[in-house]
Structure 1
């Protein structure tokens, strides 16, 4: 994963939301119970949280991802989701600008520095940034869908989500436009479709084209 991929995802998101009006901001996202305002607020809050992870890591320090943990994270999303559209976008743009600037300060020898986000490293943190920006852009239910996810991103997301395959299941994905992907052991579940459709299904999103085969019940996101 390269920083250029994160910047491309960030640009796609900000361009998609340029000129957001009130009705669109209040409209439903694809995430149950969340408006687009909720998704935008979450991305902005995540961006600030990850910026802090980067800044502290570069100083040789660790800091919690969200002060107050998951309850405070969820409360902040709900509190910010209903702001005027212009305020939502200004906040998002400021947060993403700061995050990209933070990633620009990471040197070649810094990627192994630890962070508390998933108890991982800066290298994993930039992957998480790529996932958050890319997946949630399609969650806005605007012009971008999982069918627009780049093939390298689909490959990355499938591998990240391997823990979703339940015990006793040998999951085989046969993309019509890519190599076969397998995970787990046990009863065979063979699915076919485009790479993007299969990845969308595995990510818990609605595929834009058919996925054929017997689908197992997946575990939550890791």
Structure 2
């Protein structure tokens, strides 16, 4: 990156990327199991309740999960055929229109539609073999690994956003470390931010090449990841003051 850009610098991770990619299907399965367990018995009134996202109900969030599950599953299916396809037919406008229309459905309508989308995602990602993760996809001009990590983020983060009973403390450590690296660009250029995970001892330094003012903070790994993802930490982050964050990458 250019000088002044946010850069996350962490200690080396012993696990190789190939092994991490092999573990992604298990990570997806765990996230799906968690969401499905929280959906049991969800009724119409609960769907109209506010989510953690401003202006969105639970129905909005779950409709978005339905749509992104199908969209990223399609990335996987086409990549395995040696083809690429846009993420959403009609782009972002189509995605937004589908959420606006779909969030008003009853639980009897939304529930089965969401489950069908989750089953499609489950089947599509289960078909990806170890040698397939580098296949190109249209999503961000990346690879199946790029799209797979996006599905994992969307699944886990929006499960929390839906306020169904799971908070950021339910996020697995590997997801949190991924978020702390992936979201490095959200840290502004005018600080050198050091985050220390008190429960693992790992340290992330952002913007260390930019010559900005030093800021240090520490907290649990899940809380640091929640803050950088723009979600409310469940525990305390000490030090700081923490800077304002830029846009999601």
Aligned to 2:221: 195
* SS of corresponding position for 1:114: coil
Report whether the alignment pairs 1:15 with 2:37: yes
State the Cα distance separating 1:105 from its structure 2 match.
1.1
Q: Name the CA distance, whole Å, in 2 between partners of 1:86 and 1:189.
A: 49
Gap runs ≥5 in structure 2: 1-19
CA-CA distance at 1:65 after TM superposition: 0.3
1:182 pairs with one of 200, 205, 209:
205
Please point out which of 127, 140, 143 is paired with 2:149. 127
List aligned pairs for 1:1-222, cutoff 5 A: 1=20, 2=23, 3-178=25-200, 179-185=202-208, 186-212=212-238, 213-222=240-249
Q: Distance in 1 between matches of 2:223 and 2:81?
A: 41
CA contact (8 A) 1:20 1:86 kept: no
Matched length: 222
TM-score by length of 1: 0.97
1:64 Cα deviation after fit:
0.5
Deviation at 1:86, TM superposition (A): 2.0
Residue 219 of structure 1: SS of its match in structure 2? coil
Deviates more, 1:193-202 or 1:72-81: 193-202
The TM-score, its normalising length taken from structure 2, stands at 0.87
Inter-partner Cα distance in structure 1 for 2:214 and 2:93: 39
In 2: Cα distance, 1:220 partner to 1:160 partner: 12
Deviation per CA, 1:41-89, whole angstroms, max 9, x where unpaired? 0000001111111111111111100111111111110100010012111
Give how far 1:216 is off.
Answer: 0.7
Q: Which runs of 5+ in 1 are unaligned?
A: none
- Displacement over 4 Å in runs of 4+: none
Deviation of the 1:157 alpha carbon:
0.9
Q: CA deviation at 1:108?
A: 2.1
Q: Distance in 2 between matches of 1:154 and 1:69?
A: 29
SS in 1 for 2:131: coil
Find the aligned partners of 1:175 and 1:105 in 2 and give their Cα distance: 35
**What RMSD, in angstroms, separates the aligned Cα atoms of the two structures?**
1.0
